[in-house]
A and B are shown apart, each in its own frame.
Chain A
Amino acid sequence: MKAIHNLIQSVKPHFEEGGKLSRFWVVFDSLETFAFTPGHVTSSGAHVRDSIDLKRTMFLVIVAMVPCLLFGMWNIGHQYHLSLGESSDLLANVLVGAWKVIPLIVVSYGVGLGIEFLFAGMRGHSINEGYLVSGMLIPLIMPVDVPLWMVALAVAFAVVVAKEVFGGTGMNILNVALTARAFLFFAYPKQLSGEIWIHDVATSKAGGMLVDGYTGATALGHLAGTVGAAASEASTATMSLFAQGGMFSLSNCFLGLIPGSVGETSALACLIGAAILIWTGIGSWRVIASFLAGGLVMGVLFNLIGANAYMTINPVHQVVMGGFMFGMVFMATDPVSAAQTNTGKLWYGFFGGLFSIMIRVFNPAYPEGVMMAILFMNVMAPLIDHYVIEANIKSREKRLTVAAA
């Protein structure tokens, strides 16, 4: 590493003010600080500092996403082969998955970091680590067969509009990755509700190779079809998919052996991620726990109402389907867009979970309620914090009047 250090130092002058490559200073600086924590010493205040920095923090979030990523890759291949009725082995599944996921990751990081470099250069500050996480989250919440140009567009929109216009990492109001997803959802509704949840399902269908019962729809897509219709034969058929042994049985949903966005299908992988985040203290257990509670409460309420087939689904089944778990673990916990106060986090999480289930059941046009719910709660988070802080201010004022009396 002495050699690496010397190499970096030897090319440094070219990037510094007046050097030939000074316009690429930001790129150089971010690579240098990536490889070496700079030798900045403390100049004011505390002379020693905690070892934690934003790079470590963000890196641990990525570590927590790895189970979702790996499982997602495998599952893409698994679903593809299932849809063709072929049996397959681990390697074949992962290869299909890698073929789909790696380009998504490359596009996401390429476009996102490109824009970040541009803005950092314009503003004359160094690159912030925020996008390291967003850039990995975005591929994981994309449908398998989404066209790459759409991903590029969504990333560009999210980074510029959701983040950079507000001032960059730490300043955004909305979760960047979810903004990318929402952009696609609203800009390309037709393409995004089509047959893109299983690799090549459209082609397979056209070629007549698809196994019976495979429509390429997700669990929530199937269920959305039952809303509004009275209990009919069609909805009974759909619901049978969710019974024991069906395609979307509880165990399949929990393990993630179902079609869906790249990284969201496995509740188990998400829970492993949650364990890592809570264990390292990076993700707020308050948000995760209250989000789960909110979802379960809404599920129970729907059970009690039971107005249609969708409402009768077991609450535990509800929360392991779709993007609920992924949103709960990786999106709702984004510290920048979540509530900042500890009390606020509980409310924020609870209503996030509640609305996720409510939206998906009430509005079949938005099967993925968790995205809308978290974005909504992102907007509401400052308000929640406001009331928590007001309560604190009030208690202080009350103390003053008591003291004066």
Chain B
Amino acid sequence: MSKTLRIKKGVDIRLAGAPSTECAAAPAPKVVAIQPPDYPGLTPKLAVKAGDAVSAGDALVFDKTFTNVKVASPVAGTVKDVVRGAKRRIMAVVVEASGEEKHRDFGVWNGGDRDALVAHLAQAGLFAAFRQRPFDMLANPSDTPRAIYVSGFDSSPMAASTSVVVEGQMAHLQRGVDALAELAGAGGVHVGLQAGDNTLAGLKNCKTTAFQGPHPAGNVGVQIHHTDPINKGEVLWTLGLQDVINLGAFLNTGKYSARRVVAACGSEMNNPRHLETVVGAKLDDLGLNVNEGARVISGSVLTGTNAGTDGHLGAFATQVVALPEGHDPKFMLTEGWLSPGLNKFSASRAYPTWLMPKGKTYTLDTNQNGEDRAFVVSGQYEAVFPFDIFPVHLVKSIMVNDIDAMEKLGIYEVAPEDFALCEFVCTSKIPVQLLVREGLDALKVELG
């Protein structure tokens, strides 16, 4: 029996539109795109050009520095387009799916030493899914991480359910964990479980710890901090649960798998449920039933990107959320700052959310609910930030680009996603996640 840790700080944003436990296979997407900006730290170089025919598992881009880190095509088809942004940065490589099951065959993994395993995983683009702490960036395959951490559940609002995600995949998951155990250093593999959920309790070859409490208890950064925090100079790797399954599937079958179960959810999503598709699928192709004018997010409401139905499922997204846009100004007495706010959600007690029944769900729109201000209120971030770190002071050190202070205040342990709730609760509407990303990037540049 693994031990249970209680996370007290945090908040569960009770949004309307949580997915049912039904899991349907989405129609096979006609267009798929891999988006290099999804991978922090990746400097993409093209491995293909428009018009090339690719099989599932063929590399589309590779990293300029770690050339054996590749991002593979999730499906077989033809490279249709390379979308570039400012400074000709590669924003997406779009593949038109042929519809056939054509996989590049890498052969079933029959064991070998660590170096051989690394090479085997790298050739099929599986290293792109690993991230390292500090910096929450692309992992360097030649490192040996102290430990590898996997969060076994997602605590963000309306998240995909672990039991639905791993349904029928336990063999692959165990195989993935076994492989991670070979890759990890002395610290081994850690899997964070949700207290009270026994789905993953049978996993072997890893240490498990159960976590109880509100979001962000499911964030891997929180789980690391509460089990064996990162010190300066150490490197840890993190990997998403579904990426572990895909890794195991690859080793078991020799075929690259980009399977992704997503929670199609949100108050503007009709029939919210789980859908099985592939990474990078065009959202329009998933057969979603989204209300007109809604914002369609690839990823969670806290950390996702505003993709729109024309967009594609992000590399690490496990949710597709549809929310109402909040373009309408809110009159102070009826909906604004002077209103009773019975239907407003607030983690503070300034609105009566905390007096409402615990089961009540809320429809939140994308309005910022206030204007940008300087820091005024104190103690707010601390209440939703379960780290022994001073979040406001860390953010301020990033604002003034004080590298030394950032290090001392513990920036090595955090990722932007760990600050998502700080951003949510902020009275002054400060773009905290953006700042933390900038801070991590600045530190990375400084340390080389």
What is A's interface to B at a CB cutoff of 8 Å?
A: 1, 4-5, 33-57, 59-60, 126, 128-130, 167-171, 279-282, 284, 335-336, 338, 340-342, 345, 385, 389, 392-393, 395-396, 399-400, 403-404
Q: Is the CB of A59 within 8 A of B378?
A: no
Q: What CA separation (Å) do A338 and B378 show in the bound complex?
A: 9
Q: Is the CB of B337 within 8 A of A284?
A: no
Interface-lining segment among B24-32, B34-42, B253-261, B418-426: B418-426
Q: Is the CB of B420 within 8 A of A45?
A: yes
Q: What CA separation (Å) do A170 and B392 show in the bound complex?
A: 13
Contacts known (A56-B350, A389-B393); A37 close to B379, Cβ less than 8 A: no
Q: Taking CB as reference atom, which chain A residue is nearest B424?
A: A46
Give 27 A-B contacts (CB < 8 Å), ordered by A residue: A37-B367, A37-B369, A38-B329, A39-B327, A40-B367, A41-B368, A42-B368, A44-B431, A44-B433, A45-B302, A45-B303, A46-B433, A47-B321, A48-B301, A51-B353, A53-B429, A54-B377, A54-B428, A57-B376, A60-B350, A282-B348, A284-B378, A340-B378, A341-B390, A396-B410, A400-B232, A404-B231
> Across the A-B interface, how many residue pairs have beta carbons closer than 8 Å?
216
Q: What CA separation (Å) do A281 and B388 show in the bound complex?
A: 22
Q: Taking CB as reference atom, which chain A residue is nearest B382?
A: A342
Is B240 an interface position by the 8 A CB rule?
no
Q: Is the CB of A393 within 8 A of B408?
A: yes
Contacts known (A36-B332, A400-B231); A50 close to B346, Cβ less than 8 A: yes
Q: Is the CB of B366 within 8 A of A41?
A: yes
Which one, B297, B371, B427, contacts A52 given CB within 8 A?
Answer: B427
**Closest 7 pairs between A and B when the two form their complex, measured CB to CB:** A53-B370, A170-B374, A36-B329, A51-B344, A281-B349, A45-B433, A55-B337
Q: Is the CB of B229 within 8 A of A399?
A: yes
Q: Is the CB of A1 within 8 A of B328?
A: no
Contacts known (A55-B337, A130-B376, A399-B229); A279 close to B427, Cβ less than 8 A: no
Residues of B within 8 Å of A1, CB to CB, are 331, 333-334
Contacts known (A4-B331, A37-B367); A45 close to B431, Cβ less than 8 A: yes
* Nearest-Cβ distance from residue B304 to partner chain A, whole angstroms: 7
Q: Is the CB of A50 within 8 A of B369?
A: yes
Q: What CA separation (Å) do A59 and B306 show in the bound complex?
A: 33
Q: What CA separation (Å) do A60 and B410 show in the bound complex?
A: 34
* Nearest-Cβ distance from residue B188 to partner chain A, whole angstroms: 16
Q: Is the CB of B329 within 8 A of A281?
A: no
Q: Taking CB as reference atom, which chain A residue is nearest B346?
A: A51
Contact bitstring B143-163, A, C-beta under 8 A = 1, else 0:
000000000000000000000
Q: Is the CB of B433 within 8 A of A36?
A: no
Q: What CA separation (Å) do A55 and B371 show in the bound complex?
A: 9
Residues of B within 8 Å of A45, CB to CB, are 302-303, 416, 420, 423, 431-434
Q: What CA separation (Å) do A293 and B303 show in the bound complex?
A: 43
Q: Taking CB as reference atom, which chain A residue is nearest B302?
A: A46
Q: Is the CB of A392 within 8 A of B428?
A: no
* Nearest-Cβ distance from residue A342 to partner chain B, whole angstroms: 6
Q: What CA separation (Å) do A301 and B371 show in the bound complex?
A: 48
Residues of A within 8 Å of B429, CB to CB, are 49, 53
